[in-house]
A and B are shown apart, each in its own frame.
Chain A
């Protein structure tokens, strides 16, 4: 699978907004720079890709900063993390869901938003895709 291009892969585990925002920012920037981008959604983050995703969640310990950050995001007209991921996808980024976690949660491919999820794959496939590049666990 090695393309000779720079490559960044992300294992996205946390489903909280504070972690998903950098997923959007990094994937959009990397895709714009021509990196091969593979994002592997597992854990709680996987549910954010459902056709009917759960509402945004912020970690309890940072709760007091959330309104300030949300107002700031609105003020600078920052796109949502999902908009940034969609932009990255337009530039070639790929999104995968962990098959083991999907099975554990009783989720099938048709439960996920097909405009976001490219495939449900096992970790073997993901590691093979990530081989030789940078990997972030978020």
Chain B
């Protein structure tokens, strides 16, 4: 078992499709078991991250709104 990593993608200030693009860049280098936490401020990010999860089949561990950002915590499970 290799060690799982936790990655942070700070996409605050980026407008659509910036946050998803940044997430995908991090995802490419990730492996199953890794956790990716994304911070975004784009108002479309919440439905977009759900669409991405439904498309890719990874796991959305947490999606919460904070005062100044939307935080999505993703567990990478769908890498082949």
- Seen from chain A, the residues whose Cβ lies within 8 Å of a Cβ on chain B are 25, 28-29, 32-34, 76-79, 84, 87, 91
Ordered by A's residue number, 27 sampled pairs between the chains whose C-beta atoms are within 8 Å are: A25-B16, A25-B17, A28-B17, A28-B21, A29-B16, A29-B17, A29-B20, A29-B21, A32-B17, A32-B20, A32-B21, A32-B24, A33-B20, A33-B24, A33-B52, A33-B55, A34-B24, A76-B13, A76-B15, A77-B13, A77-B14, A77-B15, A78-B15, A79-B18, A84-B17, A87-B21, A91-B24
Residues of B1-54 whose CB lies within 8 A of A:
13-18, 20-21, 24, 52
Bound state CA distance, A112 and B70, in angstroms? 41
Q: Which residue of B lies closest to A77 (CB)?
A: B13
Give chain B nearest CB distance to A69 CB in angstroms: 13
Bound state CA distance, A22 and B24, in angstroms? 20
Chain B: residues with Cβ within 8 Å of the partner, total of: 11
Bound state CA distance, A51 and B16, in angstroms? 28
Give chain B nearest CB distance to A86 CB in angstroms: 12
**Chain A neighbourhood of B17, CB < 8 A:** 25, 28-29, 32, 84
Q: Which residue of A lies closest to B22 (CB)?
A: A32
Bound state CA distance, A32 and B11, in angstroms? 15
Bound state CA distance, A25 and B16, in angstroms? 7
Q: Which residue of B lies closest to A26 (CB)?
A: B17
